[in-house]
Amino acid sequence: MSDAPTHTIVWFRQDLRVQDNPALAAAAALGQPVIPVYIHAPEEEGDWPPGGASCWWLFHALAELREALGETGLPLIIRRGDSRAQLLGLAADHGVSHVLWNRRYEPAARARDDAVEAALGRAGVETRSFNASLLFEPAELLNRSGQPFRVFTPFWKHLQTQAVAAPVIVATDQLRGPSDRVASEPLEQLQLLPDIPWDAGFYTQWQPGLEDAHRILAEFVGQPILAYRDRRDEPGVEGTSRLSPYLHWGQLGPRQVWRAVQESGAFDSNGGFTFLSEVAWREFAYHLLFHYPDTPTEPLQAAYRTFPWQPDEHYLQAWQRGLTGFPVVDAGMRQLWRSGWMHNRVRMITASFLVKHLLQPWQDGARWFWDTLVDADLANNTLGWQWTAGCGADAAPYFRIFNPMLQGAKFDPLGRYVRTWVPELARLPDAHIHQPWEAPEPVLREAGVRLGETYPHPVIGHREGRARALEALARNKAAHR
């Protein structure tokens, strides 16, 4: 052990910010030199290590955090490997008395954190954890029977009766760096960026920095939020906040978002209220994941555990590649691949198409989203897919089957979204952009579209897909009578 003064470790994970960081605020209050550390240990994430798109965002978020901490005089120490061993080693080498972190709620992370806490306790190191990623602890919001909520509307109504805490102010002038050198690995050694540049389009779509997070939030609550309720379902316009990856990686905290909406004056507007309900939907997702930790792979509703899916690699790959022959579905899947993100309305359309029309297991869709989304979040991803498949809490009825042509015509009437992401259809008239197979041959020829060559025929007919889905539902219901 060194002769340096006793240190405090702040263990960063998905809280990659300085302000509104309760663990860092507590470290400043202790008055000891602080060792900020990020430990890259994807094997500790159980079945859900960060996917390729998430790793891309993580690299840039860590670079931004390193810069922000540097402005306060703190180095970001980067390590790889077993978190428990790394923290115990740092504690022994640098006279650490406290290890502080902000809580995570995924099942594997909770188990890991419990093991780390026990090991540090045995070593005589005090540990404390905080809530930085949610408005409320999942165990705090319960229904009148003291049970977890399973329907969003009463959850949201109850949340509105609770006082949301203000963002935590970190006294950065009280932070001091370690008194001796602490070994750190170069960020590049984590190999978070791809060897093959499939991420080229990400750089045109995203600026994954801390300052960018606050700028985007400020711009959104300044004006666009007022039209959020009316424009959020239109994928061809900038009608959403696009804050989800910043929230997932903790570059913004939900309390900061809540406060920004309050201070903007939009809190009581229709757009502001609707937007905050989406923040609450994120809370609801974590509420469910915390109380039902098997749901990332198992349907919450037991009757769907033997649902007669029809796994088919051809169907799955056509969907993944955006080659289903349904323009709005293909536009969504291509936006996802090229930008690491997909508009929320289109997430519902593409997910419904996979599990209803194609009868592919929702878990396969969840896995693909997990690997390709920069905002891949286990709680949100799980809730969204179980909602679509009709097998989770507050789920859409299984017989609710989105018609991709009608969805496209309703939410992308001019075809802007489809033309952006499926350029081979760009010259089609509005009347045929969402169902090119109905266009007369002269119209297709004029637009340069050759079905089956430049753009695929539908992999399945809408009526056929709908009928298969309803028949599967009927069989599943009969099996559970």
Note the pLDDT of residue 206: 97
Q: What is the pLDDT of residue 481?
A: 78
Q: What is residue 232's DSSP assignment? A: T
Is the pLDDT score of 4 beyond 80?
Answer: no
366 and 227 inside one domain: no
Whether 287 and 330 share a structural domain: no
Residue 389 lies in a domain: yes
197 domain residue, yes or no: no
The CATH code of the domain that includes 43 is 3.40.50.620
Q: Which residues are catalytic?
A: 278, 281, 309, 344, 362, 385
Q: Where does the pLDDT of residue 259 fall: very low under 50, low under 70, confident under 90, or very high at 90 and above?
A: very high
Cβ distance 189 to 183 under 8 Å?
A: no
> What confidence score (pLDDT) does residue 235 get?
97
What are 310's two structure tokens?
């029809």
How do strand 96-102 and strand 126-130 relate by DSSP bridges? parallel
Domain count, the chain: 3
Distance CA 206, CA 310 (A): 37
For 345, the domain range is 302-479
With contact defined as beta carbons under 8 Å apart, do 165 and 132 qualify? no
Angle at CA of residue 387, ends 381 and 392, nearest 5°: 100
- What is the rounded distance in angstroms from the CA atom of residue 109 to the CA atom of residue 290? 11
The verdict on 118 and 138 lying in the same domain is: no
The mean per-residue pLDDT over the stretch 94-118 comes to 98
CATH code for position 274: 1.25.40.80
In whole angstroms, give the CA distance from residue 109 to residue 106.
5
268-286 per-position pLDDT tens digit: 889 999 999 999 999 999 9
pLDDT at 439: 98
Cα–Cα distance for residue pair 211/206, rounded to 1 Å:
13
* pLDDT tier at 398, thresholds 50, 70, 90: confident
Which residues make Cβ contacts (< 8 Å) with residue 144, sequence separation at least 6? none
- Does residue 188 form part of some domain? no
Q: Stretch 453-472: mean pLDDT, rounded?
A: 97
pLDDT digits (tens, 9 = 90+) for 339-363: 999 999 999 999 999 999 999 999 9
In a shared domain, residues 121 and 11? yes
Clarify whether residues 313 and 231 are in a common domain: no
Same domain, 140 and 269: yes
Q: Is residue 326 domain-shared with residue 472, that is, in the same domain? A: yes
Same domain? 142 vs 285: yes
Confidence of residue 3 (pLDDT cuts 50, 70, 90): low
358 and 284 within one domain: no
| Whether 218 and 324 share a structural domain | no
Average pLDDT, the chain: 96
383, HSE (Cβ side, Cα atoms, 13 Å): 24
Q: Please report whether residue 179 resides in a domain.
A: no
**In-domain check, residue 315:** yes
